[in-house]
Structure 1
């Protein structure tokens, strides 16, 4: 095997989809087919893991993918790994890979907005860009990255910000802001088995949903709050009760850009929630915060160490 071989690990998603007889998109393309369609001239190793819509990716699926990526990197002939993935949960999976990525070789996650059999598919170009990043050596200080729509973004603090645009992914950090600090990676732990529901806030929400979720005794709760990390007074009071019951709570925001920093008073204000023990999500949005909290619970570490600043 060639010393500069790139492993392409395929998990399905739009990049692998073709239309069936009814016109519905179904993931069918294999890793070998994705490599062939990209037209790359570097030695590649196809690895098929799943063929699934990423909205159905479970934590067990993510654990299995992490294990496969680490297995590929255990081979010194592998120069780096490209993971092809559906865009719905791509940012979450890329972040999970990043939490456990301590190898100096690049791992790049990519996908597509258009099906493989579309008139002008974007998947082949994204795969080429991912492989070019590996061949160039990349910027290893950024950890796991996402190659999409002509851009290379660090996985940490990334969101899918557009349902159809070819450059759909955006960092939550705006122009001029200090980039998120990437904490030291930790040894892989199982994410599966952790129950971390996400609860969305809305103006004037009562506390019934939070109380119902807390009654299930989850391992943690992620709240998709408003503004810089606020909820209504009644929802805030319910979160106080959850925290008092020993349930870790991370507060994120529905706002696409900016950092969650607690500032406001009132029962549902971020400052009050923080004083009661809630954790600000920083640059992470709900999906990535859920991954961080699941990893922290499994590893037995303070979630703040994985959420970062």
Structure 2
């Protein structure tokens, strides 16, 4: 019998248990000595190959001296680890809103991202991020904005590390033309796009207005792929009320085909850079005539 691929929840559980073990500065051997759980079992748990029994999770959490807040979240993950799909509620707390996606993104080998209205977070300048976050989240406090901007800037290290993330992004022209934070902020953001688009592991394509209606108008999404051959791709959709993770074969196929269609409709990377330059010139002319 072929083993079922790990669900999103089981992958998330595995990632959290790895993180907690490293935070406790314990090796697999030390955990085995303290819990009696074999190294093979620990490896299988941390690589999402098996779902651990509740008593095993409790023993691990006790060994790592995990606090109540993290403990509750881990036990909840373990309870539904074999349930396909995942909805996460949208809260103001950064852990609740973004931690799951950020963890998957950090482990991914590649991300394909379509954005209809925003410059992708991994490519945003700090000034753009500071303008866009309160714009879409009117109730955000200064602390909320600072936390989210910091997280966004830290995530960008994935693009500059020794083995960088392969990042392919398709952006609707509307994201270039919407003047977030004012012309100066947008000019700086366009310059950032020009710089990153020159990197061999980053592809930036723009869908121009003249394309008209296209499949991406239904909303932005990300497709994450992983280096582990046993780990299937994940679709992530961020929403106002809920963040959605999709993992069924049908969903992956639908979004893969949609992304391929969007790339085919988009300008080539070189022509996309030309459109970015044009948008930047228009912003500068707007500044001069203001």
Q: Same fold (TM over 0.5)?
A: no
Higher RCO (C-alpha 8 Å, min separation 6): 2
TM-score range, shorter chain: under 0.3
TM-score where L is the length of structure 1: 0.24
Which structure is higher in strand share?
Answer: 1
> Between Structure 1 and Structure 2, whose CA radius of gyration is higher?
2
Which structure is higher in helix share?
Answer: 2
